[in-house]
A = this chain, B = another copy of it.
Amino acid sequence: MRRRAALAALAAVLLAAHLARAQSDPLGSWNDGGPKRAIVEFVKKATTPGAPDFVAPAERIAVFDNDGTLWSEQPEYFQLLFALDRVKALAPKHPEWKTEEPFEAVLADDMRRALAGGEEGIARIVAATHAGMTTDEFGKVVSDWFATAQHPRWKRPYDRCVYQPMLELLEYLRANGFKTYIVSGGGVEFIRVFAERAYGIPPEQVVGSSGRLRFEPHGGKPVIVKLPSVDFIDDGPGKPVGIQKFIGRRPVFAFGNSDGDREMLEWTAAGPGARFAGLVHHTDAEREWAYDRQSPVGKLDRALDEAKASGWTVVDMKADWKVVYPEAK
């Protein structure tokens, strides 16, 4: 009896210690292993005053790709799913779409045919759904979509299909004086709507692709109108360019998940002093998706080879993450 009481007490102590450690571990959703260790070691040396790899607080710029790095990008980029939903919502005002590709295919829910037109078709869909309104109006449309739309597989709002381990990483970096940025191929006006709420990243720390804008005075009630032409594509070699345009400093920490992030990682890693370059490798078909070299969305091929050759950190989602998404609210 005394022995059982002692064991129970021991168990209680061990449980409390485990909970305390879980609570105090800012990266609690990361399994112990190479990537977690690499992150913690980098942050430690970058923030230790006097250490050879110390990074001054003003230089602690950390950049993150969004699609596939901070949230899922399957079965399609979420912004494309938003655009397809918008085509359906706007269809009553566009009777001509009934006979016009790619709109007719979108309205018939024939995704394959809708995307058969390639970039040109997608550009038409984006122009029809992302332009011809003010920036305020677009923000409202996106905000309403997030409030109502559900991810087809996970049946939860899209902005809850974010990665819990990456949320912890963002917070951990900020707690250590890093300024966290999104540098995404996605549309900047789209991402800014939810990035502050979902990631704690304010609008002014979002770099993305963009369409042209026009200021219109409107008799003392000025507006900014979104035009149907492309201004900047923040992908591939566009990512270091976007970083230079919008941030004007070379990051010391970068995370991506696809070949579109390769140049951003190269640019970050090639700077002087301590650098961190990381890739999320989608290896978990059960809890998320498994894809890399052959995937039409988020293709990870050359960047994976380069990661191995250059010693970048590769996160094996299945092995390195205890959970993928935040607990349902």
Q: Which residues of A contact B (CB under 8 A)?
A: 58, 61, 135, 179, 188-189, 192, 196, 202-204, 206, 210, 213-215, 217, 220-222, 224, 231, 237-238, 240-241, 244-249, 263, 266-267, 270
Contacts and interface: CB of A to CB of B under 8 A. Distances in A.
Given A240-B224, A263-B217, A203 B245 contact: no
A196 to B, nearest CB: 7
A217 B214 CA distance: 34
Contacts of A58: 196, 202
A251 to B, nearest CB: 11
Contact of A266 (B192, B217, B238, B241): B217
B240 A203 contact: no
A214 B192 contact: no
A58 B58 CA distance: 19
B206 A267 contact: no
B241 A224 contact: yes
Given A196-B58, A203-B248, A249-B204, A241 B214 contact: yes
Oligomer copy total: 2
Contacts of A238: 215
A245 B245 CA distance: 11
A247 B204 contact: yes
B249 A237 contact: no
6 contacts: A58-B196, A179-B204, A189-B248, A204-B247, A213-B241, A214-B237
B263 A215 contact: yes
A241 B217 CA distance: 12
Contacts of A203: 247-249
